[in-house]
Structure 1
């Protein structure tokens, strides 16, 4: 009898718990892992889809809260690109840290000594270029400048996009001009779907060092 009583009691408890779970409102939280993942990601994607093309983040603070939304629409094309530059900083101490590819390694570390920034010599009209391997429609480009010093060096740099390698790609159409700001290390530039395989950054007409800690290029493949 005691065993039968315990079985009946256990059945009543379990049945009551199941009924309570079924009556929970959806607002109390997702009931499955799939629903949880969907609810977690949907606000970001919905926000990205509703963004106007003119509303890309322009500061590091804005990028921190909004940059992830770009992932829903576009990919960082630069990650699969091939980078080169006018020269590599000649230095026994820093030379190995100065390669052009450092600017497309996916690392946003803005301290040059950490080894994730590109750096030229003190050249006349120094330039940096990435080959995206095929033409794309470029929506926007995010540039991360040096944070440890010398951010003003990037002031006046031209961002160029096109399919020509004339003058190392430095004759292609201009997307934007950088206005360097020590308080705004990461900036976003809207390129309005300009089409090109090559993206150049050049400090035209001046003798200066050109350094870039990350160049992110977002867009879609150009269809023929």
Structure 2
């Protein structure tokens, strides 16, 4: 067995998976430098499921442990990060929920730009979902004040457990 095959089997056995890794994730995660918001909060009074939970540096995928966001049932639900000034983005990493409902993220788009209405250019679209799936989108230096996750045409709840944003990096081929 080749080393890569052994590594992939080990990751699968541990329940860890990653999709769409097309670029290097270099440098420090800059997401905590921004201010997060979302269309609504499902459990607002309980203090969980809020926008800031997605940039707390914790990839925990169990919602009740407090590190995931959850909106109410909405048309075109969204989550957004405001850096207050344009930033060049090399990669955006999304971590899906592990305990249930991971399919809610299917079709969500990562958008980057300077328009606060979430109609910025698309860096990538979620085309694969699964429990705790980590998806990396290479944004190749797209620049913008806002990084948002929007699910256009979807009616329902939106959840995700971490959003990481990395400064412009060097593209590399998939493994």
Same fold (TM over 0.5): yes
Which 5+ residue runs of structure 1 have no aligned equivalent? 1-58, 64-68
Moved over 2 A (4+): 59-63
Question: Taking structure 1 as reference, are residues 153 and 180 closer, same or farther at Cα in structure 2, changes over 3 Å only?
Answer: farther
2:38 aligned with 1:85 = yes
Cα shift at 1:184 = 5.8
Distance in 1, Cα, partners of 2:160 & 2:29? 16
Cα shift at 1:181 = 2.0
What is the count of residue pairs matched by the alignment? 150
More relative contact order, 1 or 2 (CA 8 Å, 6+ apart): 2
Query: Structure 1 stretch 82-91 or stretch 144-153: which is displaced more?
Result: 82-91
Which 5+ residue runs of structure 2 have no aligned equivalent? 1-14, 169-175
Paired residue for 1:205, among 139, 153, 156?
Answer: 153
Distance in 2, Cα, partners of 1:125 & 1:156? 11
C-alpha distance after superposition, 1:163-195 (max 9, x if no partner): 111x2xx11100000123215611111111111
C-alpha distance after superposition, 1:193-217 (max 9, x if no partner): 1111100111111211111100000
2:162 aligned with 1:214 = yes
Structure 1 vs Structure 2 CA RMSD: 2.1
Cα shift at 1:61 = 4.4
- Report which of the two has the higher share of helix: 1
Cα shift at 1:133 = 2.4
2:144 aligned with 1:196 = yes
- Report which of the two has the higher share of strand: 2
2:65 aligned with 1:117 = no
Question: Taking structure 1 as reference, are residues 91 and 200 closer, same or farther at Cα in structure 2, changes over 3 Å only?
Answer: closer
Contact (CA 8 Å) 2:92, 2:138: kept in 1 or not?
Answer: yes
Contact (CA 8 Å) 2:113, 2:145: kept in 1 or not?
Answer: yes
Distance in 2, Cα, partners of 1:87 & 1:140? 26
Please report the TM-score for the alignment, with normalisation by the length of structure 1.
Answer: 0.62
